[in-house]
Structure 1
Amino acid sequence: MAKSAPAKKGRPGAKTPNDSRTNRPNISQYTVKEPTELLPFLLNKQSNLGRNTVKAILARGQVLVNDRVVTAYNCPLEPGQTVTIRKDKVVEEPQLIGLTILHEDEDIIVIQKNAGLLSISSGQENETTAYRQLMAHVRIQDPGNRIFVVHRLDRDTSGVMMFAKSERVQQLLQNSWQDTVEERTYVALVEGKVKKTEGTISSWLKESSTLKMYSSHYPNDGQHAVTHYKTIQSNSSFTLLEVRLETGRKNQIRVHMQDIGHPIVGDKKYGSRSKAINRLGLHARVLAFKHPTKGELLRFETDIPKSFLNPFRQTSTESK
């Protein structure tokens, strides 16, 4: 706790020079003087506390910015805002399962989703989804808060995805998705050695009566889909590809990898026979976009899953 000067008698509401209110012993309050982010601001003001302790205070919902609970470490602060630390009331943050919040502000939440977690329920399933968990998360601040789906990742695809925190922002993002998104890059572990080190796949995607997507090579017969790829690493059995989407269609990468004869590892639906990593070999590695209300460019990049590299390590070990 930052040190405070003795309060003067007869002035119970007086502030100390460091803007900490002394009339409420379980609350410290500070005024932001210059642009910064929340975690470094707290570490500066609570210099007697360790970094992990300050993070725990944040995670428990004990920090408010302008009277709203904030748990994101990188919440931007602007001069004139008020930051409050509560010691007497702990708001329990529900444990997040299968996802990590990478960024949160008043308009959007960006997460990293694990393979196996549904983005949103596809019917009446009463199971854990990213959507339900994030809805509970934002309702800590206000029971009326909601989140809105902007795009999805398949259950067995891991990586970066984004939700909106209002219907207005959802519509802004969806209506200008092609212009807003600067980069969507995946990594895909596919079967076999891809002969061309880089290339582009273009087709028109349609959905069958069994809800399986497939390519039509007749112009304008379905939704146009364009996928660019280049090799990161390969051996005789597998290829690790960097895949960049020019369009974002349902199951686009999965269909296009099958089209070139190299289905994604673990993707039985689209022709895979390999279970080399016990999951689908597809990960949304990079998402870069213009913030829907602020206009700034945000870029989120995650690591290639270690399991995607295992088939190449095994080959290297066996060859020694």
Structure 2
Amino acid sequence: MRQPKDIKKTFSQKKKVKPNDLKFEVQHDSELLVFLLEKLSQKSRNDVKVLLRDKKVFVEGEAISQFNQPLRLGQKVEIRWEKQPEEIKIRGLKIIFEDQYLIVIDKEAGVLSIATEKQKENTAYSVLSEYVKRQDPANKIFVVHRLDKDTSGIMMYAKSQRIQKALQENWNDNILERTYLAVVEGIVAKPVGKIISYLTESKALIMYSSQNPEQGQKAVTYYEVAKTSKKHSLLQVNLETGRKNQIRVHMKDLGHSVIGDDKYGATTNPIKRLGLHAWVLSFTHPVTKEAMRFETEVPKAFLGLF
């Protein structure tokens, strides 16, 4: 992990790695599909039709899905790789990427990833399920991974069981980077560290950490101190494993609980929320095999402490 030189500047910049949009000028009258097959010779006919279907092709600034749209000399044609998602009229999440295979969202703290026995509605899952069904009642979404209710940041859902399975069964190979930001109590003396323990869950749904391999699942967490103040440290945290409450438990093991986390030893809550944010998610797309990278803005409340 790289030590930021200027955390406020570094953490305010978005660094999505994505294909550059393409722009072409029509040199002679043609039809749109014929034109695209000529310009995108590396892609199959089916791939080009998918671009049209997903409204990623623009003629003179207007999204076009009709393959036989006539083109005239001098017209401008654009390929915009990232689909512009419909704005969901509900507080708590924002779609930051969508294609025919998956959806990536930025979830606010306080929103459940999926339903529980106590809460069925207004979860990230239920909101996205309603969203895709508005496009087609047969559409569904599938959980790939989860975030704790009080953790904000990036999550990914699949649009089919096939994609869900492809991502989950090859999770360690598919995930290129998964970086969290954690605001913890006190000053962490060691600037870089690695925490290894074995986690098990009690009947009270609390995770416990042990150094005994026979007492739980192995959990490995890497951290780097990015910023400190008189009372807090801001850490960049990367996971080798993804156990339930792993970061929260390991910060307690470190002796510096995440702020607002009274479940795992915190005694302060200066920003009235858990100080944990899923900042960066980078993965290999299960179908296109492209390297996808998404980075969210750091919660302003975090930066306000430093």
TM range (shorter): 0.7 to 0.9
Structure 1: stretches of 5+ with no match in the other structure: 1-16, 20-29, 47-53, 67-72, 77-91, 313-320
- Give 1:139's aligned residue: 133
Indicate the residue corresponding to 1:231 in structure 2.
225
TM-score by length of 1: 0.73
> Which amino acid is 1:190 matched to?
V
Query: Retained in 2: the 8 A contact 1:93–1:137?
Result: no
CA distance in 2: counterparts of 1:250 and 1:280, whole angstroms: 15
Separation in 1, partners of 2:105, 2:137 = 21
Does residue 195 (structure 1) correspond to residue 210 (structure 2)? The answer is no
1:171 equivalent in alignment to 2:165: yes
Total equivalences in the alignment:
251
The CA deviation at 1:236 is 2.6
Match of residue 183 from structure 1: 177
Secondary structure at the counterpart of residue 184 of structure 1: strand
Which residue does the alignment assign to 2:21? none
Q: 1:133 is paired with a residue of what secondary structure?
A: helix
Q: Which residue of 2 aligns with 1:241?
A: 235
Structure 1 residues 75 and 197: alpha-carbon distance in aligned structure 2, compared to 1, 3 A threshold: closer
Worse overlay, 136-145 or 160-169: 136-145
Is 1:284 aligned to 2:278, yes or no?
yes
Q: Is the 8 A contact 2:200 2:208 kept in 1?
A: yes
The corresponding residue for 1:23 is: none
- Note if contact 2:87-2:94 (Cα within 8 Å) is conserved in structure 1: no
Amino acid at match of 2:270: A
Give the conservation status (yes or no) of the 8 Å contact 1:190–1:257: yes
**Correspondence 1:105-116 to 2 at 5 A:** 105-116=99-110
CA distance in 2, matches of 1:65, 1:269: 55
Q: Deviation at 1:166?
A: 0.2
1:45 aligned residue: 60
Larger RCO (alpha carbons 8 Å, 6+ apart) = 2
Assess, with a 3 A threshold, how the Cα gap between structure 1 residues 293 and 65 changes in structure 2: closer, same or farther: farther
SS at 1:206 equivalent:
strand
Q: TM-score, normalised by structure 2?
A: 0.76
Cα offset, 1:39, TM superposition: 7.9
CA deviation string 1:94-119 (max 9, x = no partner) = 51421111111111111111111111
Matches of 1:65 and 1:211, distance apart in 2: 53
- CA–CA distance in 1 between the matches of 2:179 and 2:65? 35
**Shift, 1:136, TM fit:** 1.2
Q: Distance in 1 between matches of 2:302 and 2:278?
A: 13
Query: Structure 2 counterpart of 1:227, which letter?
Result: T
Q: Kindly state the Cα deviation for residue 302 of structure 1 after the two structures are TM-superposed.
A: 1.4
- What is the letter of the counterpart of residue 184 of structure 2? V
1:14 is matched with none
Which secondary structure state, in structure 2, belongs to the residue aligned with residue 311 of structure 1? coil
Is residue 57–residue 65 contact of structure 2 (8 Å, CA) maintained in 1?
no
Residue matched to 1:305? 299
Aligned partner letter, 2:60: K
Contact preservation (8 Å) 1:190, 1:240: yes
Distance 1:273 1:168, change over 3 A: same
Q: Distance in 1 between matches of 2:87 and 2:277?
A: 27
What residue is the counterpart of 2:206 in the other structure?
A: 212
Q: Offset of 1:220 from its aligned partner?
A: 3.6
AA paired with 2:110?
G
Secondary structure of 1:135's match? helix
Query: 1:308: Cα distance to partner?
Result: 0.5
How many Å apart are 1:273 and its aligned residue?
Answer: 1.2
Q: Percent identity?
A: 49
Partner of 1:50: none
Counting only pairs closer than 5 Å after superposition, residues 86-125 of structure 1 correspond to structure 2 as: 94-125=88-119
Q: CA deviation at 1:224?
A: 0.3
Moved more, 228-237 or 184-193: 228-237
Q: What is the alpha-carbon distance in structure 2 between the residues aligned to residue 65 and residue 132 of structure 1? A: 32
User: Closer, same or farther in 2 for the Cα pair 1:18/1:280, shift >3 Å?
Assistant: farther
User: Is residue 157–residue 283 contact of structure 1 (8 Å, CA) maintained in 2?
Assistant: yes
Displacement of 1:140 in angstroms is 2.1
Aligned equivalents of 1:39, 1:168: Cα separation in 2 = 23
Partner Cα distance (2:116, 2:65) in 1: 35
Distance 1:174 1:133 in 2: 22
Conserved? CA contact 2:252–2:258, under 8 Å? yes
Q: Considering only aligned residues, what root-mean-square deviation do their CA atoms show, in Å?
A: 2.4
Contact 1:74 1:103 in 2 (8 A): no
CA 128–40 in structure 1, closer or farther in 2 if over 3 Å, else same: closer
| In 2, Cα distance between equivalents of 1:249 and 1:154 | 11
Code of the aligned partner of 2:254: I
After the TM superposition, list the runs of 4 or more consecutive aligned residues in structure 1 that deviate by more than 6 angstroms.
36-40
Equivalent position SS for 2:305 = helix
